[in-house]
Structure 1
Amino acid sequence: MLVVFLAGGILVATQSATGPDPDLLELVQFAPAIAVVVVLLVWWGRWRPPLEVSLWRPDAALAATAAGSVLVVLALPAVVVVALGDSVSLSAVHAGSAPIGLLVLAQCVGACGEEIGWRGFLQPYLRGRYSVLVTGVLVGTVWGVWHVQIFTVGIAYAAAFLMSTITMSVLLAVLLDPFRNGNLLVATLFHAVVNLGLLAFDDVSGREPLVWTLMAVGAACCAAAIAAVRKFRGPAGTSDQSQGYATAHRAAASLDIE
């Protein structure tokens, strides 16, 4: 985690000096990926980290569930904010004069930079030790605290933001847990769509804590619904995934990696 924060600080300084437009791409998003590379180099030949970075086409049901979930996460605050008299406009989804296609591509690349660290490495690593819920909470807490700038905005904003990162992380932990392939792709697209959707809330100044809180409610409801359906039906592939996590846990434990 030290590497993530150090790399983040360097990338923030680099962006301030050289660009690009933060609305288009934030260089700090690549800090988690850099941290994973450092871990791989440090432990090269001594430990095989539990990485889930496949970009294969995901299971159709997984993709549909992820798409529905991200729509709920964004639609709930949009409906409430509009009902309160503010506007949410897709026309606000832009980054200066950059083409929309470039914005979407840049957001996907940036989200991938983060997700290599969060869902590609940290989630499977912690899943070898903890339950799905605890893993999601831990990853979401790290994910949220890593956005250190939130603590300069105010307690209400920071608390609501952390609530949203934790619940969205729990949602992704529940969503991806039974699957061995496509995790990075689904997590990246989920993350990128959330970031793009947030641009539509640019005109709701003062209601940001409400937006984050409602996103957290939406994510929590989706996670609970997915978990309930999986429990009722019995998720395919869970045993294979559990075996993989257990193997990673035993390998890490044998090296006293804590």
Structure 2
Amino acid sequence: MLLFNGKKRIPISLGLSFRSLVLRRLLAVCVLVIAIFSVSIVAYKIFGHQVDYTPPSTLSHPFWLIIIAQFIGAAGEEFGWRCFLQPLFQTKLGVLPSSILVGLLWGAGIMFTLRDCCLPSHL
């Protein structure tokens, strides 16, 4: 397996090859994910919150069921927004206005959901 040979393409043992730009972007995404988690944990510690690990065995439902339900919910929501509503608006408004409108509608829907379940009653 040859990882770097000084050329622009990097052969991988499975017959795949990536351009060095793709690898740099992948590395940047990985670093960004680690940075976001680190900043979140530090912010929790600064504001006095406890960062705890919850073992899956202590959850009220089996962990596999939670994963499946989250996947179905997220996939269904994304299918509705991106495969139905976005193309519908795009035919009438164009790409940018339809993207903005779908984003605003999504944000309004999330705010109503958060207002009903998670936000303090005075907001």
What is the TM-score when the length of structure 2 is the normalising length? Answer: 0.49
Task: Tell which structure's C-alpha radius of gyration is larger.
Answer: 2
What is the TM-score when the length of structure 1 is the normalising length? Answer: 0.27
Name the one with the larger strand percent.
Answer: 2
Name the one with the larger helix percent.
Answer: 1
